[in-house]
Chain A
Amino acid sequence: MLYVTLLLDGIAYGMVLFIISVGLTVTMGLMRVVNLAHGAFAMTGGYVAATLVKAGVPFFLAAALSAGAVGLLGAGAELTIYRPLYRKGELAQALMTFGLAFVAIAVLTMIYGARLEPLPLPKALAGLVDIGYRTYPAYRLFLIAVGLVLAVILWRVIDGSLYGARLRAAVDNPRMARAVGINVNRLFTVTFGAGCALASLGCVIGAELLPLEPFYALRYLVLFLVVVGVGGYGNFKGSFIAALTIGMIDSAGKFFFPGVAAYLLYGIVLALLLWRPHGLVPPRSAG
């Protein structure tokens, strides 16, 4: 029965990684923008939700509203500061989004102060649930459920739908896509906004595990990058599998060999990438 607990813990952790990184899979993976400000958008959503919850708004409504707000913010950012970046190359994108993250951290510190910001879960999620052989945190079961739902929706929407096809076309060859009538600009704006909205959602849902504070934007950036990088640039199946794999190996490792816990995450990443350099799920079009 111990193994069931370990499995649940590992999967739940993997789900948090997936949920938070999924927005980056959209912006950095699909749209190929090096978006180091992903954490900043996520964090902004977290703070908006925290303020709403403090004002009495129920948790899920706050999560949805903040996702919407950040989605709009992201769309606005895409129109203004990200649009010029597409043709400027990766280094320029890295530089600007890094600067954006700095600005976000500074602004949020000015508004909220440098301390941890509470984002309390609704009572229903905060307690323990009897799963037969023991009580288990309801929150983790919730994470697993949300992760699965999100994965399925995104799978269908991006990999399986016309919208997804259009998006992939627009990213691969914008000129051609415009030629066949796809409104590339609007597609990019909407998708980027959606990516940011997902980031916000990830932050709010994951706040129990990754607490909210102004340095959030950069503190966990490496984690997000790792999931996207290991999974294979730009596909959800890859990110999902990568997140779960990393989550499970990391959790099991910590339990059985706490002495080497420090080396686990990056050791796994190293091993996985050397084994599968094209990502766990290589892109359909190789090269």
Chain B
Amino acid sequence: MGKHWLHKFWLAGLIVCLAGPAVAADTVKVGVIGTFSGPFARWGQQFRQAIAVYQKQHGTSVNGIPIEVIFRDDGGPDPARARQLADELILREKVQFLGGFVFTPNALAVADLVTESKTPTVIFNAATAVITRKSPYFVRVSQTIPQVAAPIGKWAAQNKVKTAITAVSDYGPGYDAEEYFSKAFKAGGGQVLESIRIPLATTDFAPFFERIGQKKPDALFIFGPGGPPTVGMINTWASRLKPNGIQLLATAETQEIDLPKIGPAALGVVSSFHYTETVDNPLNKALWADLIQMFGQDTVPDLASAQSYDGMHFIYLTVAKLGARFNPDDAIQFMSHLAIDSPRGPIAIDPKTRDIVQNVYLRKVERRGDKLQNINFETIPMVRDPWKEDHPE
């Protein structure tokens, strides 16, 4: 095509030079939009690592059809950029699948584009409940916040916690967590004394937690975006409220990737989540072993790894079933009815909602040898997203 010489920027020329031999005609291209730079770079890093492990285990082709993964960086919650990237991937690279999406706004921004271009999109993370309603071409393999927040509320109410306070980060996922924890907790007979929303940019949590301590709840439920705010919340709880016997309840906050930074302060935190690193199944063990082998001793699988691993599996299965030139509607039909084994345990998609159905584990942070780990003590099987049930279409 004559367009290439007009791109006079040398970087473009470099791409062309490095492109190498022409790509096979029946390659299936998968565009993964993740966050590879900025404060949330670890999400993209984990996507990339898990996909590398998957392709090492399953090869880079399916029945002779090469699968090419193209990564693009959205830099964080940046819907305009996500949309631009999706544009380029769909229109220029002609990808047949989109994958990725760490943040809800980014997924929402591409919804109409994905619908108009009929591109099956596998959501590797974005967890706000409403997302799969925004396009018939969205299939989510990750989680919804209500799905993982409700079980801990229910557990608390059944386990001697009579009063609780919620302290969530001041953004959409936080509100979802607050709503569904409180709902389940109250349904079990608990009383929520106060709901506090903590600004995302907060660095010092002490005044909030002092206020919580003054009210003397039996437990505190927190929700944070991962990274520094989460670490700050847990550490502050440990130094201000733990000595007074206030139990900490959480969801993703004690993932092993952050535990070394939090340290012994995290001992005793009870959480409900869909992925625990210690889940004992061969897929999880293989994922972890391969991650360590390929990326170093300190690599820990996390929800991002398991979810993107499963996302790739969905794509591979679809291509295996439907071939390289498939009808997008058939692909969505196929994926909406999938039930597979995942490093997390068994997962399935609910055909009505195209959303994930999976085990939710109740676990506690304990010491195992010289490491801190989340240890499962109860499994709630195949939980659907409660939000969809509360808000029928």
Q: Please report A residues at the B interface, Cβ cutoff 8 Å.
A: 2, 5-6, 9-10, 12-13, 16, 106, 109, 113-118, 120, 128, 135, 137, 140, 208-211, 213-215, 219-220, 223, 250-255, 258-259, 261-262, 265
Bound Cα distance from A223 to B210, whole angstroms: 23
B204: CB under 8 A from chain A? yes
Q: Which residues of B contact A117 (CB under 8 A)?
A: 261
Asked if A118 contacts B39 (CB within 8 A), the reply is no
Bound Cα distance from A92 to B10, whole angstroms: 25
Bound Cα distance from A259 to B204, whole angstroms: 16
Asked if B197 contacts A209 (CB within 8 A), the reply is no
**How close is A9's CB to chain B, nearest CB, in angstroms?**
5
**How close is B254's CB to chain A, nearest CB, in angstroms?**
13
Asked if A210 contacts B197 (CB within 8 A), the reply is no
Asked if A114 contacts B45 (CB within 8 A), the reply is yes
Asked if B207 contacts A255 (CB within 8 A), the reply is yes
What count of chain B residues pass the 8 Å CB interface test? Answer: 35
Q: Which residues of B contact A10 (CB under 8 A)?
A: 207
Asked if A261 contacts B39 (CB within 8 A), the reply is no
Q: Which residues of B contact A251 (CB under 8 A)?
A: 204, 206-207
Asked if B227 contacts A116 (CB within 8 A), the reply is yes
The 4 A-B residue pairs with the shortest CB-CB distance in the complex, in nearest-first order: A114-B41, A254-B207, A114-B42, A215-B39
The chain B residue sitting closest to A222, CB to CB, is B201
Could you mark each residue 178-201 of chain B with 1 if its beta carbon is under 8 Å from any beta carbon of chain A, else 0?
000000000000000000111101
21 residue pairs from A and B, CB less than 8 Å apart: A6-B207, A9-B204, A13-B204, A16-B204, A113-B42, A115-B258, A116-B258, A116-B261, A118-B261, A118-B263, A128-B239, A137-B240, A211-B228, A213-B227, A214-B41, A215-B41, A252-B207, A254-B202, A254-B211, A258-B197, A259-B197
Chain B contact surface mostly = helix
**How close is B257's CB to chain A, nearest CB, in angstroms?**
6
Asked if B202 contacts A208 (CB within 8 A), the reply is no
The chain B residue sitting closest to A102, CB to CB, is B37
Q: Which residues of B contact A214 (CB under 8 A)?
A: 41
Q: Which residues of B contact A258 (CB under 8 A)?
A: 196-198, 208, 211
Interface hits, B199-221 → A, CB 8 Å: 199, 201-204, 206-208, 210-211, 214
**How close is A222's CB to chain B, nearest CB, in angstroms?**
9
The chain A residue sitting closest to B295, CB to CB, is A113
Q: Which residues of B contact A116 (CB under 8 A)?
A: 227-228, 231, 258, 261
B243: CB under 8 A from chain A? yes
The chain A residue sitting closest to B211, CB to CB, is A255
Instruction: Check A261/B208 contact, CB under 8 A, given A118-B260, A209-B203, A223-B203.
Output: yes
B21: CB under 8 A from chain A? no
B235: CB under 8 A from chain A? yes
B87: CB under 8 A from chain A? no
Bound Cα distance from A199 to B240, whole angstroms: 29
Task: Determine which of B37, B41, B203 lies in contact with A220 in the assembled complex, contact meaning CB atoms within 8 Å.
Answer: B203
Bound Cα distance from A114 to B136, whole angstroms: 34
Q: Which residues of A contact B44 (CB under 8 A)?
A: 114
Bound Cα distance from A214 to B39, whole angstroms: 7
B232: CB under 8 A from chain A? yes
The chain A residue sitting closest to B236, CB to CB, is A137
Asked if A9 contacts B210 (CB within 8 A), the reply is yes
Bound Cα distance from A1 to B385, whole angstroms: 46
**How close is A80's CB to chain B, nearest CB, in angstroms?**
26
Bound Cα distance from A123 to B243, whole angstroms: 17
Bound Cα distance from A220 to B201, whole angstroms: 9
Instruction: Check A208/B235 contact, CB under 8 A, given A120-B263, A219-B39, A220-B203.
Output: yes
B38: CB under 8 A from chain A? yes
The chain A residue sitting closest to B46, CB to CB, is A114
The chain B residue sitting closest to A263, CB to CB, is B199
Q: Which of A12, A113, A259 has the most CB of B within 10 A?
A: A113
Bound Cα distance from A258 to B232, whole angstroms: 17
Kindly list 17 other residue pairs between chains A and B, CB separation below 8 angstroms, not including A6-B210, A251-B206, A254-B208.
Answer: A114-B41, A114-B42, A115-B258, A128-B243, A135-B243, A211-B227, A211-B232, A213-B228, A215-B41, A250-B204, A251-B207, A253-B207, A254-B202, A254-B204, A258-B197, A259-B197, A261-B199
Bound Cα distance from A218 to B355, whole angstroms: 36
Q: Which of A120, A137, A258 has the most CB of B within 10 A?
A: A258
Task: Determine which of B37, B196, B207, B232 lies in contact with A9 in the assembled complex, contact meaning CB atoms within 8 Å.
Answer: B207
Q: Which residues of A contact B350 (CB under 8 A)?
A: none
Interface hits, B235-263 → A, CB 8 Å: 235, 239-240, 243, 257-258, 260-261, 263
Bound Cα distance from A258 to B203, whole angstroms: 14
Task: Determine which of A6, A115, A210, A261 lies in contact with B203 in the assembled complex, contact meaning CB atoms within 8 Å.
Answer: A210
Asked if B239 contacts A137 (CB within 8 A), the reply is yes
**How close is A232's CB to chain B, nearest CB, in angstroms?**
23
Bound Cα distance from A192 to B45, whole angstroms: 35
Q: Which residues of A contact B243 (CB under 8 A)?
A: 128, 135
Q: Which residues of A contact B235 (CB under 8 A)?
A: 208
Q: Which residues of A contact B260 (CB under 8 A)?
A: 118
B170: CB under 8 A from chain A? yes
Asked if B39 contacts A211 (CB within 8 A), the reply is no
Asked if B199 contacts A262 (CB within 8 A), the reply is yes
The chain A residue sitting closest to B76, CB to CB, is A215
Q: Which residues of B contact A208 (CB under 8 A)?
A: 235
